[in-house]
Amino acid sequence: TAARQGEVTEQLWRGMVLLKRFTFRDLIETASIEIPETTARSYCKTLLATGYLRVLSKADPSKGVVARYLLIRDNGPKPPRIQRVKQVFDPNTREVFLPGARS
């Protein structure tokens, strides 16, 4: 549901702002609700594609290593929202970011 998704993105965003450097698994561990790995991974990938995150170390699935990210665009306390058309709406600045955007 929309309310549930908002709570999930709020928890993921809070983790990003708090940790600054993280993996999607770190975000799951810091959340106070249960978040599926696929959801956390997808949110990170979308924020990476729209210029919110930078990769600190790449994933290596053959070794069980997940990507480590750095938060580079913290526009405020409200979490960026992924829209159905795969763009990101930032409620803090009221801007829309498209995949491929860089900060």
- Stated pTM of the model: 0.90
Residue 15: CB atoms within 10 Å: 20
Cα-trace Rg, the chain: 13
The whole-number pLDDT of residue 56 equals 98
71: left (phi over 0), alpha (psi -120 to 50) or beta: beta
> Helix or strand or coil: residue 29?
helix
Q: Is pLDDT at 6 greater than 60 in this prediction?
A: yes
Of residues 103 and 90, which shows the higher confidence score?
90
Q: What is the mean pLDDT of the chain?
A: 92
Of residues 51 and 100, which shows the higher confidence score?
51
Residue 103 burial class via C-beta count within 10 angstroms: exposed 0-12, middle 13-18, buried 19 and up: exposed
In contact, 12 and 18? CB cutoff 8 Å: no
